[in-house]
Amino acid sequence: MKKLFRLLRYDWPLHFVLLLTNWLPDNVVFIRLRGRIASPFFKKCGKNLGIGRHVTFYQPSSIEIGDYVYIAYGCWFQGSGNLKIGDQVLFGPYVVITTSNHTRKEGSWRFGMPVEKEITVEKGAWIGSHCTILAGSIIRSGSVIGANTVVAGEVKANSLFAGVMGSIKKQYEE
C-alpha cells in the first residue's frame, strides 16, 4: 500500500509533468518553469530549482533538493537510498546518480538484493557532464567533479576531483 501511495503521489505525477514539459526548449524561462512544476513531488525542495529537458527521477519521495539547484539536460537520478542535494549545486548534462547497488545471488547480479546507501552533495558543488555518482558517496561543499568522473566515496571540500582509472580489482569464481 505504501509503495502504491508513493507511485501515485510522487513518481507517476512527476514523470507525467516532465514528459509534458520535455517539448519546451531549454531556456531560462522554461528551465525554471519545469523546476517549479516538479518541486512538489520531491521529499523536500528549495526555491528556484532549474530542470533541463529529458531529466529522469526515480523515487523522488526520497530526494531532498536545496535552493538554487540546476539540473541539466538528460540527468538520471535514482533516490531509493536517499539523495540529499545542498544549495547552489550545478549538475552538467547526463549526470547519473544511483543510491543503490546490485549484489550477487547464485553467481548472478540480476537477482541479488539491492544495497541502498545515501548520497550527499553539499552546498556549492559543481558536477561536470557525464559523471556517475555511486551509492554512499559524499561530495563536500565547493567541490568540482570533472567531466566523465566516477565518484565512489568521499570528495573533500573545495577540491577538484577528476579522472577514471579502470582495472581488475577482483576475480569472481564461476
Model pLDDT for residues 103-135, shown as the tens digit of each residue: 888 888 888 888 999 999 999 999 999 999 999
Among 6, 9, 48, residue whose Cα is nearest residue 31 = 48
Q: Flag whether 18 is in a domain.
A: yes
Spatial CA neighbour of 72 closest among 89, 85, 53, 58: 53
Stretch 160-173: mean pLDDT: 71
What is the band of 168 on the pLDDT scale with cuts at 50, 70, 90?
low
In a domain, residue 173? The reply is: no
Burial letters 19-33, b for 16+ CB under 10 A, else e: eebeeeebeeebbee
> What is the torsional sign of CA 111, 59, 97, 43?
negative
Closest of 68, 103, 61 to residue 82, by C-alpha: 61
Note the pLDDT of residue 167. Answer: 55
In angstroms, rounded to a whole number, what is the distance separating the alpha carbons of residues 99 and 80?
6
- Residue 144 falls inside a structural domain: yes
Q: Is the pLDDT of residue 45 over 60?
A: yes
CATH number for position 135: 2.160.10.10
Q: Give the number of domains in the chain.
A: 1
Residue 10: pLDDT band with limits 50, 70, 90? confident
Domain assignment of residue 97, given as a range:
2-161
Query: What is the pLDDT, as a whole number, of residue 36?
Result: 96
Residue 56 lies in a domain: yes
pLDDT band, very low/low/confident/very high, at 5 (cuts 50, 70, 90): confident
Greater model confidence, 78 or 167:
78
More confident: 166 or 60: 60
Residue 68 to residue 21: CA distance in whole angstroms: 20
Any domain includes 44: yes
Domain assignment present for 148: yes
Name the residue type at position 88.
Answer: Q
- What is the DSSP secondary-structure string of 20-84? HHTTS-SSHHHHHHHHHHHGGGSSEE-SS-EE-TT-EEE-GGGEEE-TT-EE-TT-EEE-TT-EE
Evaluate whether residue 167 is within a structural domain.
no
Give one DSSP letter per residue of 100-113, joined into a string: EE---BTTBSSSSP
